[in-house]
Amino acid sequence: MAVNRVPVLKRCRSLGLEPSVLGYDKKSNRQLNRSKKPSEYALQLREKQKAKFIYGVLEKPFRNYYDRADMMKGQTGENLMVILESRLDNVIFRLGFARTRREARQVVDHKHVLVNGKCVNIPSYLIKAGDVIEIREKSRSLQRYKDIVEVTEGRLVPEWLDQDIESLKGTVKSLPTREMIDVPVDEMLIVELYSK
Strands in 161-164's sheet, in edge-to-edge order, are 118-119, 113-115, 132-135, 169-172, 161-164
**pLDDT of the residue at 10:** 81
Which domains does the chain carry?
8-24+38-84+183-194 (1.10.1050.10), 96-174 (3.10.290.10)
The reported pTM is 0.88
> Which pLDDT band, with edges at 50, 70 and 90, does 33 fall under?
low
**pLDDT of the residue at 32:** 62
**pLDDT of the residue at 30:** 65
**pLDDT of the residue at 131:** 93
The mean pLDDT of 46-56, rounded to a whole number, is 92
The mean pLDDT of 125-139, rounded to a whole number, is 92
Eight-class DSSP state of 71: H
Eight-class DSSP state of 87: B
DSSP alpha helix (H) spans, the chain:
8-15, 40-55, 59-71, 76-85, 88-95, 101-109, 137-140, 143-152, 187-194
> Which pLDDT band, with edges at 50, 70 and 90, does 79 fall under?
very high
